[in-house]
Structure formats: C-alpha cells, structure tokens
C-alpha cells in the first residue's frame, strides 16, 4: 500500500455530522485471524487483505520507537508505521480486514476552525433561518443566537479528529501540527469508520432528519466506540501505544447543552446497542453485528432501549395555513424534521446542566453521578419513552424573518397515557421559561419578549397525539394552523411549581445566572459537573 498525506481537506460538518459515515452491508470475507488466540502460530505468508491483525508488514502487537513517549510526537517518517499498526489493531478487535489503504493527515486547530467556518456548502439564508427555527423550537437557542455559529463553535474547540468519506481520509487535529502529538485512540476510532466505509459503503442510509441521524449513528458510532473502549483496555494492559500523557483538545468552554446531549447520544447509548446485538458471554455474534448494517436502527428509541423495535409512525402535518403564511422551504423542499426521543430528552434536560431548573433534572439524567465515566447519561425517561413519531414543520410570514416565524410540531405517542406524560413535561417546560395563560383562548400560552422564546403557544391533546403550534401572536397561531388557539376555557394548566414570568434567577452584570456555579441537585458544584462533561465531550465526541 502507498500511503500519502494531503493537507487542507475541505470540511462541511454541522450538527450530528462529525463522523460522516452512511453504511450498507456487504458480504463477509474468509479471513485468517489470530485475534482470539495471540499465541497461535502466525502464517508464514501473511497478507494485508487476508490476515486479521497484519497490515503492510506490521503486526498488531509490534512495538515502535515512538511508544511510551510523554508527548507522543510522531514525525512524518514514523506516521506510516503507527497508522499500519493501528489498522492491524482495529482489525484484531473488530475481526475484519482493511481492503484499502487509509490516508491520514494532521492539521492545526486553527486550520480546522478555518475550514469549519468556510466549509464547502456555506449555509444559505434559508438554511440559517431553518437552523434557528429548529433550535428555538427546542428551547436550545433563542432568536438572538445564531444556530449555525452555535454549531460551529461547538465543534471548533472539541474535535480531535474525523474521517471524511468524500476523500477517504482521516484528519487528526493537533495543537502543534509541526510537531504533532498523535493520540492512537483517536486514530483507532476514526480507522473503524474507514473500515466501516470499505465494507459497507457510504451511500444509502437516509439521514434526512435528526432522529434518523441519531438512529444510524447509534450503530455507526456505537461500533466505533465499542472497538475504541477495548483498544484502550489493551493499551493499558498488553499493548505499547502512542498516547499523549496529557491531551488538551482546544478550549474547554461550556457547550450548548441541548446540542451536546443531542449529538452525544449515539456515543453514549451506541456501545450498549452494539453489545446487545453481539449478545452476552464470551462468544460474540459478529455476523449479527455485520448484518445490523442491513437493518440499522429506525429511531433513536431503538438505540436507547436495545431490542425494542420502534418503527416510527408516519406523521404528516397537514398544511392549514392562511395566505399570509407559508411553509418554510430549503432548496425548494418543505423544511420539515423528525426530532425523535433522544432530542426530546435533550430539550427537557439541557437547562439543568446549565444550572437552571429543568424538566429532567441532572440527577435523573446522570443517575450514577458525575463519575467521569461518559457512558452513563440516561436517555430513558417517562416523559418521552412513549414516543412513536413526530414531525416539525416551520412557517414564515411575508418578510421570511425570524420575528415573523412559527411552527407546527405534531407528536405521536404509544398510548394516551404516554401522550399525557409528554404534555405535562412540555407544560412544565413552558412554565420554566415564564409562560402565562392567554385569557379567552383555550390552552394557549404566551412568553414575553424578554424571556428569550417569545410568542404564543397553543397545545392540543387528542388521544395519542399532542400538537404544538407557535406563532408570534395569538392571531398568527390561528393563521399558521387554522382553528388553533380557539376561544374558550382552558383544559390544561401550567405547572404551578415553576417560576412566574420574570421571577427566575437574577442575572449578573455579564448576563449569567446568579445560580451559576451553585450546586446542582444530586451533585456537588455545577462547575465540577460541567468540567467533567466537557472533558468527556473533548475526549470522545470526534472519535
């Protein structure tokens, strides 16, 4: 194999697109493997394509001169050997061989940030508006915040590496590219994605909605993290590895917690999903895992609860808007989305990690406490576990601005009881953001401008369906979805325990909450919890 290094790969990554792998299954290969018995005699004539654990003259347990160095710096001359051995190690754990060489490049964080900020497909005005409307609907970014910039900054300081299926290349982000420190665990994780690409292809999976992305990434990232965890164990027990003694990953600033929880879900629940597919005991069913690429998870609910098939219901929002409002379009298509259970959990839990009151409190989200173990976020909660399907459709007025915008979010649930649990949670969420009843309009509530998510919200509960309609005013709600916000008495009540509008924590002079840094329920300092989770993000997110 002839390995080359190319610098300056174009990058286009936005939410949930760090590992851009879309897979379909292919046939297995008859392989000569030493993975299960390292003491077994090695073949006299091993080949890169036909022997598991051997690549380009390097065995998985070979030692290299760069092993064990504190800074783990790898020169260009040494890189080929490190990459070949890492490929052999991934093969040993995963039981598949690479079919082709994998190019590896090292770039600086500044170069990565520049590529991320000026990616191939710079978002259009319609795309930017849709991103803002979507995050506003989830109470993850108010209208004063650019959703695209929020997503870009989220990655800029955290990414340690990625695999680009467009170029079949792995890029490692280093703080010092002229004397690069190479984390072999990051490299190994990204090599799993290259291996997936070679065996299962990068083309056919539908990832058009947030829930589809979380579902497919549950398998893809779950597989990679599962391998990486075992790679790390072998490095600590019997392999000499190239791992920096300290591994700073850019600026560890507090992230947007809603985005964090949404994007992190496949990394957290994915390995458990893979474990369930492989089965219990010493004898793992690798055929079952390989076959899973033929039938990947259909929803994030399946990843949250492995073994529970949850084929989403077909939810299709009927357009009942007036001539003053139109469904927002991106590239000529209605900008709809299915958000899914994992994203709904993120919506209900994000405020708690920011030190505020939330529907899902931190001690419910992290039942094992902030132990530093990252695979302990609990995405299975009563308020969302009955999810059966949803569709969010955004609307714009004549001027197509964020101020003249709204949405219809229709959700389906497994039972009337499950629908009621979600409805109660959403009413609490509105209360926490200062919502108040609108007199004379049934089940319609308002949030004032100063509270960040202004507008009128109409909630309708019909058996297993809960529909949320939001517009800038009561009149607009009815124009966006005819019949919404009707006159009449309320059948729903806001959570009486939530703070009244304007009665939240007093903001400091810098705009931060007076509660920042105070203990979060069930834990010690909020700052400590934030630090641990941010460290988990920087250590794992891009692997």
Inside any domain, residue 362: yes
- Domain hosting residue 171, numbered range: 54-414
Q: What is the CA radius of gyration of the chain?
A: 25
- Band (pLDDT 50/70/90 cuts) for residue 63 is very high
Whether residue 112 contacts residue 123, with contact meaning beta carbons closer than 8 Å, is answered with no
**CB environment 16-45: b (16+ within 10 A), e (fewer):** bbbbbbbbebeeeeeeeebbeeeeeeeeee
Rounded (5°) CA angle 504-510-515: 35
**CB environment 488-518: b (16+ within 10 A), e (fewer):** eebebebbeebeebeebeeeeeeeebebbee
Q: Is 240 exposed, middle or buried (0-12, 13-18, 19+ CB in 10 A)?
A: middle
Q: Is the pLDDT of residue 428 over 60?
A: yes
Mean pLDDT in residue range 435-459: 92
Whether residue 340 contacts residue 300, with contact meaning beta carbons closer than 8 Å, is answered with yes
Residue 116 confidence (pLDDT): 63
**Residue 392, beta-bridge partner list:** 337, 409
pTM recorded for the entire structure: 0.84
110: left (phi over 0), alpha (psi -120 to 50) or beta: alpha
Inside any domain, residue 46: no
Residue 328 confidence (pLDDT): 94
Which tops the pLDDT comparison, 310 or 177?
310
pLDDT tens track for 330-389: 989 999 999 999 999 999 999 998 889 999 999 899 887 655 445 589 999 999 999 999
Residue 390 confidence (pLDDT): 98
pLDDT tens track for 273-312: 999 999 976 678 999 999 999 999 999 999 999 998 888 9
- Band (pLDDT 50/70/90 cuts) for residue 10 is very low
Which tops the pLDDT comparison, 9 or 488?
488
Nearest residue to 144 via CA among 330, 505, 403: 403
Mean pLDDT in residue range 202-231: 89
Dihedral angle of Cα 263, 274, 344, 122, to the nearest 10 degrees: 30
Q: Is the pLDDT of residue 220 over 60?
A: yes
Dihedral angle of Cα 305, 310, 313, 317, to the nearest 10 degrees: 20
Residue 370 confidence (pLDDT): 58
Q: Is the pLDDT of residue 56 over 70?
A: yes
Residue with tokens 């959700």: 411
Q: Is the pLDDT of residue 3 over 70?
A: no
Inside any domain, residue 222: yes
Q: Is the pLDDT of residue 250 over 50?
A: no
Q: How far apart are CA 279 and CA 286, in angstroms?
A: 9
Q: Is the pLDDT of residue 152 over 90?
A: no
DSSP code for 488: S
Inside any domain, residue 32: no
Residue 502 confidence (pLDDT): 39
Q: Which two tokens stand for residue 36?
A: 């299960």
Residue 161 confidence (pLDDT): 84
Q: How far apart are CA 48 and CA 254, in angstroms?
A: 44
Q: Is the pLDDT of residue 203 over 70?
A: no
Q: Is 521 helix (H, G, I), strand (E, B) or coil?
A: coil
Mean pLDDT in residue range 243-261: 71
Whether residue 22 contacts residue 202, with contact meaning beta carbons closer than 8 Å, is answered with yes
Residue 521 confidence (pLDDT): 34
Mean pLDDT in residue range 240-247: 75
Inside any domain, residue 5: no
**CB environment 289-322: b (16+ within 10 A), e (fewer):** bbebbeebbbbbbbbbbbeeebebbebebeeebe
Residue 244 confidence (pLDDT): 76
Taking all residues of the chain, what is their mean pLDDT, rounded to a whole number?
Answer: 81
Residue 530 confidence (pLDDT): 47
Count of domains forming the chain: 1
Q: Is the pLDDT of residue 213 over 90?
A: yes
Whether residue 513 contacts residue 356, with contact meaning beta carbons closer than 8 Å, is answered with yes
Mean pLDDT in residue range 506-527: 36
Residue 294 confidence (pLDDT): 92
- Band (pLDDT 50/70/90 cuts) for residue 154 is low
The total of other beta-carbon atoms located within 10 Å of residue 522's CB is 16
Which tops the pLDDT comparison, 364 or 501?
364
Residue 245 confidence (pLDDT): 67
Nearest residue to 303 via CA among 265, 334, 261: 265
Q: How far apart are CA 327 and CA 342, in angstroms?
A: 25
Mean pLDDT in residue range 230-252: 78
Residue 237 confidence (pLDDT): 93
Inside any domain, residue 198: yes
Residue 449 confidence (pLDDT): 75
Using a pLDDT cut of 70, give the percent of the chain over it: 76
Q: Is 543 exposed, middle or buried (0-12, 13-18, 19+ CB in 10 A)?
A: buried
Which tops the pLDDT comparison, 38 or 502?
38
Mean pLDDT in residue range 107-131: 74
Residue 174 confidence (pLDDT): 79
DSSP string computed for 138-178: TTSS-TTS-HHHHHHHHHHTT--EEEETTTTEEEEEES-TT
Residue 34 confidence (pLDDT): 47
Inside any domain, residue 192: yes
pLDDT tens track for 383-395: 999 999 999 999 9
Which tops the pLDDT comparison, 420 or 537?
420
Residue 40 confidence (pLDDT): 56
Whether residue 183 contacts residue 119, with contact meaning beta carbons closer than 8 Å, is answered with no
- Band (pLDDT 50/70/90 cuts) for residue 177 is low
Q: Which two tokens stand for residue 491?
A: 């059948």
Q: How far apart are CA 29 and CA 26, in angstroms?
A: 9
Inside any domain, residue 202: yes
């Amino acid at each position: 194999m002839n390995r080359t290094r190319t610098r300056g790969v174009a990058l286009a990554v936005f939410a949930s697109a760090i590992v851009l792998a879309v897979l379909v299954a292919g046939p297995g290969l008859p392989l000569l493997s030493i993975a299960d018995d390292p003491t077994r005699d090695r073949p006299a004539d091993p080949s890169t394509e036909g022997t598991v654990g051997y690549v380009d003259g390097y065995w998985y347990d070979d030692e290299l001169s760069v092993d064990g160095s504190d800074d783990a710096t790898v020169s260009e001359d040494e890189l080929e050997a490190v990459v070949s051995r890492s490929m052999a190690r991934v093969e040993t754990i995963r039981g598949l061989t690479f079919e082709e060489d994998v190019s590896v490049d090292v770039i600086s964080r500044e170069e990565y940030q520049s590529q991320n900020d000026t990616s191939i497909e710079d978002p259009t005005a319609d795309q930017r508006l849709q991103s803002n409307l979507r995050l506003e609907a989830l109470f993850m970014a108010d209208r004063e915040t650019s959703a695209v910039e929020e997503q870009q900054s989220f990655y800029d300081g955290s990414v340690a590496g990625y695999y680009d299926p467009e170029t079949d290349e792995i890029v490692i982000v280093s703080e010092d590219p002229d004397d690069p420190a190479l984390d072999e665990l990051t490299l190994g994780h990204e090599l799993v994605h290259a291996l997936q690409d070679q065996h299962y292809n990068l083309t056919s999976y539908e990832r058009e909605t947030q829930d589809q992305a979380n579902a497919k990434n549950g398998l893809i990232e779950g597989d990679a993290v599962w391998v990486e965890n075992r790679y790390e164990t072998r490095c600590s027990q019997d392999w000499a590895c190239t791992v920096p003694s300290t591994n700073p990953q850019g600026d560890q600033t507090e992230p947007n917690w809603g985005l964090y929880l949404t994007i992190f879900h496949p990394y957290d629940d994915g390995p458990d999903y893979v474990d369930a597919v492989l089965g219990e005991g010493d004898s793992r069913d690798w055929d079952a895992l390989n076959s899973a690429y033929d039938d990947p998870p259909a929803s994030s609910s399946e990843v949250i609860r492995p073994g529970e098939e949850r084929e989403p219901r077909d939810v299709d929002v009927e357009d009942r808007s007036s001539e003053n409002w139109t469904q927002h379009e991106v590239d000529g298509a209605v900008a709809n989305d299915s958000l899914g259970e994992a994203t709904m959990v993120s919506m209900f839990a994000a405020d708690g990690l920011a030190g505020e009151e939330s529907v899902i409190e931190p001690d419910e989200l992290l039942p094992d406490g902030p132990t530093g173990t990252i695979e302990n976020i609990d995405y299975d909660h009563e308020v969302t576990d009955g999810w059966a399907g949803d569709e969010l459709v955004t609307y714009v007025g004549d001027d197509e601005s964020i101020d003249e915008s709204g949405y219809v979010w229709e959700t389906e649930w497994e039972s009337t009881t499950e629908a009621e649990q979600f409805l109660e949670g959403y009413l609490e969420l509105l209360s926490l953001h200062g919502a108040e009843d609108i007199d004379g309009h049934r089940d319609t509530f308002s949030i004032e401008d100063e509270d960040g998510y202004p507008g009128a919200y109409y909630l309708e509960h019909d058996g297993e369906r809960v529909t949320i309609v939001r517009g800038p005013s009561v009149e607009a709600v009815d124009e966006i979805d005819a019949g919404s916000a009707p006159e009449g008495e309320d059948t729903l009540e806001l959570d009486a325990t939530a703070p009244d509008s304007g009665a939240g924590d007093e903001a400091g002079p810098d705009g931060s909450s007076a509660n920042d840094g105070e203990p979060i329920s069930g834990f010690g300092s909020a700052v400590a919890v934030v630090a641990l989770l941010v460290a988990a993000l920087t250590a794992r997110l891009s692997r």
